[in-house]
Amino acid sequence: MLWLLLCVVDVLVASFEVTVPNKHLLAIRDRPAVLGCEFTPDPDISNLVVTWQRQEDARVVHSFYYQQNQLDRQSPEYQTRTSLYVSELHKGNASLRIAAVRPKDAGLYMCIVSNTKGTGRALMEVSYEASFEVTVPNKHLLAIRDRPAVLGCEFTPDPDISNLVVTWQRQEDARVVHSFYYQQDQLDRQSPEYHTRTSLYVSELHKGNASIRIAAVRPKDAGWYLCIVSNTKGTGRALMQVTYGAPYSEPRISIHVNSSALKVQFETEGFPKPEVIWLGEHDQNLNYHLEIHGQTEDGLYFIKSICEAQKPVINITFTLKNHLLNQNLQRPVVLSYDEDTTDHMIIVLAVLSVVCILLVIGIIWLAVQKQNKQRSSL
């Protein structure tokens, strides 16, 4: 009997408890946060004292006694931002609400409660996180023909990806580029142009990386892309632009020369339209002819440029600039003519001809002389 009584007393003394249901609370910037705290209730709250304070420096966050809030000693950072659920106090609920979380609210909080049944305390930690965000590190991405392109997208991560939905779509017409939910790619509604060409970095999703990779860029990949993400923490979207470019191929050269003029021609393909410059011997601009044939199915412009000059031109430099890709193709053409040798040949030929003619004349003259002698001797 005595033993039972002792037990009951023991239970009564030991039974007062203060507990926090969440020892770690993630508070989100600008949103309210509820720091849960429960205690062994007493329907009569006239003796109840609730104090919330910061563990680090004992700053008072909120305090309640004489059946009302007592905020004289409240730390200024928490002024007008905190409240208790007063109507729940008699049920043992001493939870604290912080109205709009600020970065400095992160830290350790102590919930201290005493009533007729006892006194107790419990510690919890609040960590802070910016509100849910989706961002693209590059708002403008330059994608190069036939090369892979990574469209970066980041979001406020949640290690649990079971509720994660990632959708990449084209802004212009809402075509689906890639989509992921139920922890896997969902490509039923993917636009056919992107079929087998896109992938997410699935192992990076829990870190907040929703970047997409396009395997080999095509001209029609140029445009606006929306990265739309939602998880347990929120929903957001970010927009980015992809520009397409193709470096110009090594120019094919052809040269035509006749007796009076020469014609140099270059042909090449790339995207977008280039700047073409022809320079002469003294870096002077030369007149030229330029043909640009419209963008073909493979997304390239065909360029043909011709420069004509009167002989004897020696140096011509063809320059093609693809400003989008910072490509600068410079191809000098150096011509040399063997004109001196030709002149010598002509002189030699002329001298030889004169010598020949003189020889012939001499032979004829000798023959005539001989005949004349024979006639006179007859």
Ligand X SMILES: *[C@@H]1O[C@H](CO)[C@@H](O)[C@H](O)[C@H]1NC(C)=O
CA dist., res. 70 & res. 53, Å (int): 13
254 near ligand X (CB under 6 A): no
29 near ligand X, judged by CB under 6 A: no
In this chain, which stretch among 54-62, 63-71, 150-158, 358-366 interacts with ligand X, using CB under 6 A? 150-158
Q: List, as own/partner pairs, every contact residues 325-331 make where C-beta atoms lie below 8 angstroms and the sequence separation is at least 24, other chains included.
A: 325/142, 325/144, 325/245, 325/247, 327/247, 327/248, 327/270, 329/248, 329/250, 329/251, 329/268, 331/251, 331/253, 331/266
Quick count: other Cβ atoms within 10 Å of Cβ 174? 10
Shortest reach from residue 14's CB to ligand X, in Å: 21
Please tell me whether residue 32 binds ligand X under the rule CB under 6 A.
no
Cα 316 from Cα 351, distance rounded (Å): 37
Tell how far CA 293 is from the center of its chain. Answer: 31
Residue number, 266 or 271, with CB nearest to ligand X: 266
280 binds ligand X (CB under 6 A): no
Tokens 């330029």 locate to 290
Confirm or reject binding of residue 287 to ligand X (CB under 6 A).
no
Nearer to ligand X, 86 or 273 (CB): 86
Shortest Å distance, C-beta 8 to ligand X: 27
Applying CB under 6 A, does 255 fall inside the site for ligand X?
Answer: no
DSSP letters, 175-219, are: -EEEEEETTEE--TT--GGGTTTEEE-GGGGGGTB--EEESSB-G
- Kindly state whether residue 31 participates in binding ligand X, applying the rule CB under 6 A: no
Bridge partners (DSSP) listed for residue 209: 154
Going residue by residue from 51 to 90, which x/- string records binding to ligand X, judged by CB under 6 A? ----------------------------------x--x--
Choice between 216 and 352, CB closer to ligand X: 216
Q: Which of 281, 291, 298, 339 binds ligand X (CB under 6 A)?
A: 281
Using CB under 6 A, which of 100, 255, 314, 347 touches ligand X?
314
Alpha helices, DSSP H, located in the chain: 2-14, 339-377
Number of residues near ligand X (by CB under 6 A): 27
Is residue 182 at the binding interface for ligand X, with CB under 6 A as the rule? no
Rule CB under 6 A: choose which of 315, 328, 330, 353 binds ligand X. Answer: 315
CA–CA distance, 35 with 107 (Å, rounded to integer) = 12
State the burial class of residue 195 (Cβ atoms within 10 Å of its Cβ: 0-12, 13-18, 19+).
exposed
Question: Rule CB under 6 A: is residue 201 a binding residue for ligand X?
Answer: yes
Residue whose entry in the numeric block shows the structure tokens 């802070």: 128
Q: Is the dihedral of CA 48, 52, 53, 59 positive or negative?
A: negative
Stretch that binds ligand X, among 61-69, 107-115, 146-154, 232-240 (CB under 6 A): 146-154
**Does the protein bind ligand X through residue 339 (CB under 6 A)?**
no
Q: How far apart are CA 218 and CA 229, in angstroms?
A: 25
User: For binding to ligand X (CB under 6 A), which residues are involved?
Assistant: 21, 34, 36, 38, 85, 88, 93, 95, 137, 150, 152, 154, 201, 204, 209, 211, 258-261, 263, 281, 308, 314-315, 332, 334
